[in-house]
């Protein structure tokens, strides 16, 4: 329940930031001035820019404190929605794979140094190695990317099934992130709020389904 409350607080914070931005001309001017700066540079170095964005997206799937979501509106202005969706999804997917292999091969020696080690360790004890696929899918939907990747890596969950569950879990969020970023730029509060609500319902449902199953039995 604590984790769910943190998600709800995050959703509220995102909505608050959006409305503050829409109501502030100075913030909007600063935002677009920043975009013009990056657009001028990245326009001449498109491949490098895309690689950096993909790399940052990958990092956000490995380390909890960093999120690539705030970069989405900037990427949309520079490269468009389709390219942003593709690169964001690829970056997240690469990061999820890296997190899995860190968990699988480095194990506790590295993971125990992470500040969210306790959460990872708790779920390692709860999720069986041969957990049903749908349960793993709900787990991936409910948990932050880095926690899901590390946990499933530590327990050596089937890699092929992990890739499929990760793809099915990440792509909807990438799509919603891009649509929400576009709504943010176009100042469409109704559509923006609707997307936030969809994410909240999706996460809450997955969270409930994961814990209702009582996955503590190995």
Question: What count of other Cβ atoms lies within 10 Å of the Cβ of residue 176?
Answer: 15
What local confidence, expressed as pLDDT, does residue 56 receive? 93
pLDDT of the residue at 108: 62
Helices (DSSP H) in the chain: which residue ranges? Answer: 2-22, 25-42, 46-60, 72-79, 81-101, 108-111, 117-126, 133-142, 145-154, 159-186, 189-212
Q: Is 187 left (phi over 0), alpha (psi -120 to 50) or beta?
A: left
* Between 29 and 112, the higher pLDDT residue: 29
How large a percentage of the chain has pLDDT more than 90?
A: 46
Q: Could you identify the residue written with the tokens 């991936």?
A: 140
Contacts of 125 (CB under 8 A, 6+ apart): 216
φ/ψ of 128, rounded to 5, equals -70, 150
Average confidence (pLDDT) over 204-211? 84
Residue 216 pLDDT: 47
Rounded to 5 degrees, φ, ψ at 120 are -60, -50
* pLDDT tens-digit series, residues 134-153: 989 999 998 887 788 888 99
Report pLDDT digits (tens) over 94-122.
Answer: 999 999 998 888 766 666 666 566 677 77
Looking only at Cα atoms, what is the longest distance across the chain?
55
pLDDT in tens, 37-92: 877 777 677 888 899 999 999 998 888 656 788 899 999 999 999 999 999 999 99
């Amino acid at each position: 329940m604590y984790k769910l409350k943190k998600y709800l607080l995050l959703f509220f914070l995102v909505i608050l930031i959006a409305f503050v931005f829409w109501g502030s001309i100075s913030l909007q001017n600063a935002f677009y001035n920043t975009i013009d700066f990056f657009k001028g540079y990245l326009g001449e170095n498109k491949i490098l820019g895309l690689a950096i964005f993909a790399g940052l997206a990958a990092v956000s799937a490995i380390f909890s404190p960093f999120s690539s979501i705030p970069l989405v509106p900037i990427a949309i202005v520079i490269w468009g929605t389709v390219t942003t969706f593709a690169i964001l999804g690829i970056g997240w997917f690469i990061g999820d794979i890296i997190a899995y292999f860190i968990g699988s091969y480095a194990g506790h020696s590295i993971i125990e140094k992470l500040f969210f080690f306790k959460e990872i360790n708790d779920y390692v004890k709860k999720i069986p190695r041969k957990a049903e696929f749908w349960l793993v899918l709900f787990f991936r939907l409910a948990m932050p990317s880095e926690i899901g990747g590390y946990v499933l890596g530590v327990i050596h969950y089937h890699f092929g099934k992990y890739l499929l569950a990760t793809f099915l879990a990440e792509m909807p969020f990438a799509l919603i992130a891009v649509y929400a970023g576009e709504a943010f730029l176009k100042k469409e509060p109704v559509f923006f709020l609707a997307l936030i609500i969809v994410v909240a319902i999706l996460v809450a449902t997955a969270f409930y389904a994961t814990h209702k199953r009582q996955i503590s039995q190995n």
